[in-house]
Amino acid sequence: MVYTPARPSKGVPAIRINLYSDTQTRPTPAMREAMSRAEVGDEQAGNDPTVHALCDRVAALLGKETAVFLPSGTMCNVVAILTHCRAGEEVIAHETSHILTSEGAAHAAFTGVQILQLRGARGLFTGEDVRAAIRPRTRYAPTQRLLEVEQTANIGGGTVWPLAQLNAVAAVARGEGWSTHMDGARLMNACVASGVAAKEMAASFDSVWIDFTKGLGAPLGAVLAGSAAFIDDAWRWKQRLGGSMRQAGICAAACLYALDHNVDRLAEDHRNAKALARGLRQMPNVAVEEPETNLVFFDPAGAGLPAPELIRRLRLQGVHLSLLGGRVRACTHLDVTEAMIEEALGLIRRELAAV
Ligand SMILES: *Cc1c(COP(=O)(O)O)cnc(C)c1O
């Protein structure tokens, strides 16, 4: 097994147009400037003022009592599930969710929970789906503890959960006495696309986090929010996992900068994603999913080029795309301009015309 990606090798051209992921954005000079001016302390000891400012700001944004700064979104999910659940309990989540597909089975390894997988188009499910998944309370059946949703649903297509549907699934969970957790890695994309405030989106959920390394463009960090009691317990797991930091205000400053400057502009990424989808749809036999936010999934197989081959050919021309769930995923973000979208479309058109 090779778990370590190859380092960029000579001969492969530099990436000019990076549609691989919104995680690959580079901190801008202004963000770096904000980081360099950050007032810092010892985060683990609870006295980094910039981290406190960030946590207070995110707690208010998400309508929760308090929040904790963590190095990554994955750690937010791990810490949240460890805090909500005990080994042997069951988490209910979509079959394409990040906790199932992309965290190295962290939840099996650390928490010992089992994840019941719900199906549903575009990464979403309904209150009825949750109701149908309720197990009898017997000695035989696993104890169900937590409902998890992903806003936006990544592999689902960057899909936005409508507010009513979020509230409906959470209401079923609450009726059963389960806790509720929102993986809000791209929650701000959902808010900008729908016009619904983050605290409304998060209202039915006991815990929710946002990632600063996706469209918000910071170099690292995510903030998990919830009740004071929940965050107190979460801190214990953060400490155990080695997620407590020191002069983390340097990074929190980048996150505060992102909240001030990089939220409203997500609309631009959504426009670019739509433009990309529009261009792709004009290419015969390319299956294109209509983007709702900044992720565009398409499958060029019908036009004669399997997704991995198109990705390989584009990469040789400096355009970086990813393969996710068997399709091509193109992701727009603050390092992608309208002109780059036009250029990428031209190159894809040329590859498909040549087959
Ligand atoms: C990226 C992502 C995560 C994990 O975040 P990291 O900061 O990369 O650890 C979790 N959930 C979803 C939906 C994501 O897209």
Q: Omega into 159 within 30° of 0, i.e. cis?
A: no
CA distance 92 to 86: 14
Rounded Cα distance between 300 and 313, Å, is: 13
What pLDDT is recorded for position 334?
96
The bridge status of strand 90-94 relative to strand 17-18 is unpaired
Residue 1 is predicted with a pLDDT of: 67
Please tell me the predicted confidence (pLDDT) of residue 6. 80
The CATH class of the 29-261 domain is: alpha beta
Amino acid identity of residue 314, one-letter, is: L
Among candidate residues 241, 239, 208, 242, the one with its CA nearest the CA of residue 222: 208
Residue with tokens 């089975």: 105
Residue ranges of the chain with per-residue pLDDT less than 50: none
Range list for CATH 3.40.640.10 in the chain: 29-261
How far, in Å, from the CA of 353 to the mean position of ligand 1?
35
Q: What's the 143 CA to ligand 1 centre distance in angstroms?
A: 27
Spatial CA neighbour of 170 closest among 195, 139, 205: 205
Q: What is the 220 CA–ligand 1 centroid distance (Å)?
A: 11
Helices 266-281/187-194 angle, 10° precision: 80
Cα dist from 127 to 34, 99, 164, 168, whole Å:
44, 20, 10, 5
Of 41, 43, 60, 47, the residue nearest 225 (C-alpha): 60
Pocket lining: 22 vs ligand 1, CB cutoff 6 Å: no
- Residue nearest atom 2 in ligand 1 by C-alpha distance: 185
CA of 186 to the centre of ligand 1 (A): 8
For the chain, give every residue range classified as CATH 3.90.1150.10: 265-353
As its CATH architecture, domain 265-353 has Alpha-Beta Complex (3.90)
pTM above 0.95, yes or no: yes
Place of tokens 């498909």: 352
| Cβ-based neighbours of 353, under 8 Å, separated by 6 or more | none
The reply to whether ligand 1 has any atom less than 6 angstroms from the CB of 98 is: yes
Distance 96 CA to ligand 1 centre (A): 13
pLDDT in the model for residue 333: 97
Is the CB of 28 inside a 6 Å radius of any atom of ligand 1?
no
Going across the sheet that includes 327-331, the strands are: 287-288, 295-299, 327-331, 322-324
Residue holding tokens 């035989």? 140
What whole-number distance in Å separates Cα of residue 136 and Cα of residue 170? Answer: 19
Paired residues of 180 in beta bridges: 147
Give dist(CA 169, CA 148) in Å, integer. Answer: 10
CA 127 – CA 121 distance, rounded (Å): 14
Atom of ligand 1 nearest to the CA of 154: 13
